[in-house]
Chain A
Amino acid sequence: MSNTNNNSFIIQVKDLTKQFGNFTAVDHISFEVKRGEIFGFLGANGAGKTTAMRMLCGLSYPTSGSGTVAGFDVIKEGEKIKRHIGYMSQRFSLYDDLTVMENMELFGGIYQVKSNELKKRAKALLQNLEFFEERNTLVSALPLGWKQKLAFAVATLHRPEIVFLDEPTGGVDPITRRQFWEMIYQAASEGTTIFVTTHYMDEAEYCNRISMMVDGKIKALDSPANLKKMFNAASMDKVFRILARDAQRGD
């Protein structure tokens, strides 16, 4: 059974739950993400997004529930999940004290990309970003927008089937933000699944489908166009407000 599922879904979870003492951070969430999809994972502060994402990335084990990510069991195979996904967060992405190329070599090495292959891929990625000439520049000297684009390239260096992006565009200028989304589009068009969280509601509209978490549960899941229709709202911002209005939890 799991084989047929693996073909169409890269994430499939059922009743995924995480409890910290008496507090149920994630409360029986069930959903699927299709291969090659851009999936937006939204929610109010404190809704449980980060906890859910940590479970999906193999960084934290669920209290109960079941599911697979990239074909591996979320209960038993966290280590394997970690090796087969890409991950990028706004807070930590690259080592400031290493050059652009050193960062690529480090992360490529951690993900066990063979040395020759790594050199080829790194060069191609940097050329694609028109950034090859900066390969020996220290990351600390780069503007934030460049760091973020580079971090995305590094997160996909080992060609993961799915990449998790945790608020990847916070604080960058609108032009860079768009360039970043073009990279996402490109990766998706090449078959990589994108799982992304954001506070920018206009970015929700870039996604094929989005889920909205409120108080540990998934309150809605559909395409942005359908959600707007369903809630009779002109924008995703409005949809978000309608859904988050009744939230009991703060972050």
Chain B
Amino acid sequence: MDSGTLAIEVNNISKSYGNIKALDRVSLNVKRGEIFGLIGPDGAGKSTLFKILVTLLNADEGTAKVDGLDIGKNYRDIRSRVGYMPGKFSLYPDLTIEENMEFFATLFGVTVEQNYELVAPIYKQIEPFKKRRAGRLSGGMKQKLALCCALIHKPSVLFLDEPTTGVDAVSRSEFWDMLHNLRKQGLSILVSTPYMDEASRCDRIALCNTGRVLDIDSPHNMVDKFNGNLYGIKAKDMFGLLNDLRTNASIANCYTAGEYHHALAGSSFNAQELKQNLEEKGHSNVEIKPIIPDIEDVFIKLLSNEQHQQQ
């Protein structure tokens, strides 16, 4: 693809720490003006990929471009064009909100006033506390300050490594609203999260696990591609139900999912017969209903397919 339309290009990047393969031939492209999500649990390799792309770490193999520039040859130019919010809070705890902002602006040779407009919608929320030291801020406020500091030099590509981890559902949702506003202003955003429910807030996502990309697509297409019929099943004794569903020949796979267990139907599946069978086994209040898979269901299916292939 033409790099003019791509904010990030990753080709077969691998990285090992000793015996541990943190990234295993990862390839992906992020288009300009896109919010691209790296979705995966701890150990998926998300932070390693971020560090390589913002030129803080060298890859063992593979190539990558950020904003059209090679991460090896042009690393200095890349550093001035990207905004990076690492997974761990990395502002100066002894500096105030205001001082942190000025510090980061100065590092990049700009002033806060110059790019105030870009950060204003976020900065206004913490501005009343601008004399407070960063170390004494709440988690939600630290997150907003870190985002402001990553934006103050008006980067073209924004890298956000797990910005919403440990933040409650309401603050998480607000954070995603902020990202959508930034995208409207032309920023390209690569963001990682372990929360699968946040996938729907991205334009495209890569599902990753233990250093590998399982699939890349829009969240919508990913769910559409789910090949199989999924059912939600509940009864009074949920733990007993799980065991009975697992030994039932008409169920291909079954796992917990909250109020209902999720069961992937096998070829001989028949809801009526299953209900009868479960009642004969002593289950009461049995309910079976077809359900639409979500990203977690997709992830689980991809992961179990992969595990089958390995065996």
Chain A residues with a Cβ under 8 A of chain B: 43-46, 143-145, 167, 170-176, 178, 181-182, 185-186, 188-189, 199-206, 224-225, 237, 240-241, 244-245, 247, 250-251
How far does the Cβ of B299 sit from chain A's closest Cβ, in whole Å? 5
Closest 7 CB pairs of A and B: A205-B258, A173-B41, A185-B239, A171-B42, A205-B259, A250-B138, A251-B138
Report the separation of the CA atoms of residues A87 and B210 in the bound assembly, to the nearest whole angstrom: 29
Q: Do residues B170 and A46 form an inter-chain contact, with CB atoms below 8 A?
A: no
The size bracket of the interface on B is 35 or more
A contact face: mostly helix, strand, loop, or mixed = helix
Given known A-B contacts A45-B168, A251-B140, A173 and B258 have beta carbons under 8 A apart: no
Given known A-B contacts A178-B256, A205-B259, A251-B138, A170 and B166 have beta carbons under 8 A apart: yes
Q: Do residues B42 and A174 form an inter-chain contact, with CB atoms below 8 A?
A: no
Report the separation of the CA atoms of residues A202 and B239 in the bound assembly, to the nearest whole angstrom: 17
**Residues on A with beta carbons closer than 8 Å to the beta carbon of B304:** 175
How far does the Cβ of A145 sit from chain B's closest Cβ, in whole Å? 8
Does B69 touch A at the CB level, under 8 Å?
no
CB within 8 A of A189: which of B165, B171, B195, B240?
Answer: B240
Does B86 touch A at the CB level, under 8 Å?
no
Q: Do residues A202 and B141 form an inter-chain contact, with CB atoms below 8 A?
A: no
Q: Do residues A144 and B42 form an inter-chain contact, with CB atoms below 8 A?
A: yes
Given known A-B contacts A45-B140, A203-B258, A206-B258, A172 and B41 have beta carbons under 8 A apart: yes
Does B216 touch A at the CB level, under 8 Å?
no
17 inter-chain pairs at a CB distance below 8 angstroms, sorted by A residue, are A45-B138, A45-B139, A45-B171, A145-B41, A171-B42, A171-B165, A172-B41, A174-B296, A175-B255, A181-B256, A200-B195, A202-B258, A204-B258, A205-B259, A224-B258, A244-B168, A251-B138
Q: A173-B303, A185-B239, A205-B259 are in contact. List 11 more A-B contacts (CB 8 A).
A: A43-B168, A143-B43, A167-B166, A185-B238, A199-B166, A199-B168, A206-B258, A240-B169, A245-B170, A250-B171, A251-B168
Chain B residues with a Cβ under 8 A of chain A: 40-44, 138-141, 165-171, 173, 194-197, 209, 237-240, 242, 255-259, 296, 299-300, 303-304
Q: Do residues A237 and B169 form an inter-chain contact, with CB atoms below 8 A?
A: yes
From A208, which residue of chain B is reached at the shortest CB distance? B238
Most buried by B among A204, A240, A247, A250: A250
Given known A-B contacts A174-B296, A182-B256, A188 and B239 have beta carbons under 8 A apart: yes
Most buried by B among A145, A181, A240: A181
Given known A-B contacts A45-B138, A250-B140, A173 and B209 have beta carbons under 8 A apart: yes
Report the separation of the CA atoms of residues A172 and B300 in the bound assembly, to the nearest whole angstrom: 13
CB within 8 A of A172: which of B42, B139, B173, B255?
Answer: B42
From A190, which residue of chain B is reached at the shortest CB distance? B239
Q: Do residues A174 and B169 form an inter-chain contact, with CB atoms below 8 A?
A: no
Q: Do residues B169 and A186 form an inter-chain contact, with CB atoms below 8 A?
A: no
Given known A-B contacts A171-B165, A173-B40, A173-B41, A241 and B173 have beta carbons under 8 A apart: yes
Report the separation of the CA atoms of residues A244 and B171 in the bound assembly, to the nearest whole angstrom: 10
**Residues on B with beta carbons closer than 8 Å to the beta carbon of A171:** 41-42, 165, 194
Q: Do residues B42 and A178 form an inter-chain contact, with CB atoms below 8 A?
A: no
How far does the Cβ of A171 sit from chain B's closest Cβ, in whole Å? 4
